[in-house]
Structure 1
Amino acid sequence: MKFLDRRERVHKGMLVLGAVVAGLTAAATPAGAGSRPAHGPVGVTIVIAAANGSGCPPGTVRTQLDPDRDGFKVVYSQHRAQVGGSSSPADSRKNCQILLKVRVPDGYSYAISQVRSHGYAQLQDGANALHKGAFYFQGVLDGTRITHELKGAFRGNWRFTDTLPVLDWTRCGEEPDLILYTELRVDKGTSDPAKVSFISMDSTDQDAGTTYRLAWRTCP
């Protein structure tokens, strides 16, 4: 997966127990772009066409479309990275790349306007964890990256919210595949190597996963 620096938006920060890190305002709709309905049109469908990576073995990831079609959630059941104890070197980094088939009724265009990621972590003093996210439309050479860090000692839920300052809209009449990427890493740092540190996005927590908010507009 390749991204160009020219349009990369990177948000860095730490969020503890639900506090919001990023809250940037999305750009206004360009003139002549059509109206901005509050919810998505009836008939929107989102299907996982492929999922690959150590963080999403076959059958361990699914999507949920909101009833109002103004967003969707990706839920994982085995997305967890850890170090320490009997962990192997490969356990310290887990990733998942998903290809989504998004079908939209004629006359509408959409963009991802916000990304909310939620999970759980237990980090020993001296350890740290990294959460990375990215998305782009297939056939486009650039995309959006998001990076956040957690530092130990830490134990509890984490939640990161990133509202995008610039929206990348699909072209009217086109339905490009949407590619999503998530990565979790843990570094033991100066922590006791006999003690386990981990970060997860798995569904042992009902709210864990990534929610993508959608902005809609009608075609001119």
Structure 2
Amino acid sequence: MLGRRWGTAFAAFGILAVLFTTAEPGAATVRSIDPPNGQFTIDVHSVHGNGCPPGTAKVVRAGDRTAFTVTYSNYTAQNGGGIAISQRRAACTIAVDVGVPHGFTFGITRTTFRGFADLAEGATGRLDTQYWFVGMDVTGKIRRDFTGELQDNWQATDEVPLPEVMWMPCRPGGVPLNIESSLTVNAGRINPGTTSLMTMDATDSEVTTIYNIAWREC
């Protein structure tokens, strides 16, 4: 009897082992591929916000199809010294129409934001960003805080592990991508009369933000 019980137990264990062995690769099948051949287009559908007045934001895809960039030329938040309340926060929302080769989709794996900060002692600045495909949950939420005294270029980079990447839904014609960002400056109490500012355009480069992407088949 004991031998039969052990035999049954080992048999059950063997079945479970097979199941787990079979299921494990399936649970981690998220793999990226080389950028596919075919047409990959990114066109700005709409832009609005005081951080990106008409004609000041540009979206360009990389030639190797591994990234696209957004460049701003008039994205500034400032506070202190009698600055109007409306200028203390700058924001921008860009809706992008994306066209991808048939049978493929992409997701954002890394984001890099760059700019310049001139914050007086006690002043603070904050970067908030997020992006999402229309009809899906907001993802790519990033927040970075900066504290004065600071007068230098700044950079904020966020990595997304491949299993956590939000992939564009596989639908004919693709799905629009929304990109939202904001800069907020607080003058603080130490030097409230001194103007502090943050920009989303670095002084040493024309490229402001970079979105690195990965590809996979639908």
TM over 0.5: yes
Greater radius of gyration (CA):
2
In 2 relative to 1, CA 29–99 (structure 1 residues): closer, same or farther, beyond 3 Å? farther
Greater share of helix residues, 1 or 2?
Answer: 2
8 Å Cα contact 1:123/1:154 also seen in 2: yes
Counterpart of 1:186?
Answer: 185
In 2, the alpha carbon distance for the partners of 1:130 and 1:156 equals 15
Aligned pairs for 1:116-135 (under 5 A) are: 116-135=112-131
Distance (Å, rounded) in 2 between the aligned partners of 1:163 and 1:106: 27
Alignment TM-score, normalising by the size of structure 1: 0.80
The two structures, once aligned, show a CA RMSD in angstroms of 2.0
Q: Structure 2 vs 1, CA of residues 31 and 127 (structure 1 numbering), >3 Å: closer, same or farther?
A: closer
Among the aligned pairs, what percent are the same residue? 31
Structure 2: gaps of 5 or more residues:
1-24
Query: What is the number of residues matched between the two proteins?
Result: 191
Picking from 102, 107, 111, the partner of 2:103 is 107
The separation in 2 between residues aligned to 1:101 and 1:141, in whole angstroms, is: 18
Q: TM-score, normalised by structure 2?
A: 0.81
Report the more deviating stretch, 183-192 or 117-126: 183-192
* Higher RCO (C-alpha 8 Å, min separation 6): 1
Please list, as runs of the form range in 1=range in 2, the aligned pairs for 1:126-145 lying within 5 A after superposition: 126-145=122-141
Moved over 6 A (4+): none
Q: In structure 1, what is the equivalent of residue 4 of structure 2?
A: none
After superposition, the C-alpha distances for 1:80-116 in whole angstroms (9 at most, x for unaligned) are 0001224211111000000000100101111011110
> Equivalents in 2 of 1:152, 1:51: separation in Å?
31
Give a deviation string over 1:116-167, Cα, whole Å, max 9, x none: 0000001000000000110000011332310000000001010111001310
Mapping 1:1-220, distance limit 5 Å? 36-165=32-161, 166-174=164-172, 175-202=174-201, 205-219=204-218
Amino acid at match of 1:169: W
Q: Per the alignment, do residues 168 and 190 of structure 1 end up closer, same or farther by CA in structure 2, a change over 3 Å counting? A: same
Q: Deviations over 1:43-98 (max 9, x none)?
A: 10001100011101111100121110100010011110001224211111000000
Distance 1:65 1:132 in 2: 23
Please give the alpha-carbon distance, in whole angstroms, between the structure 2 residues aligned to 1:140 and 1:167.
Answer: 13
In structure 1, what is the Cα distance between the partners aligned to 2:177 and 2:94?
A: 8
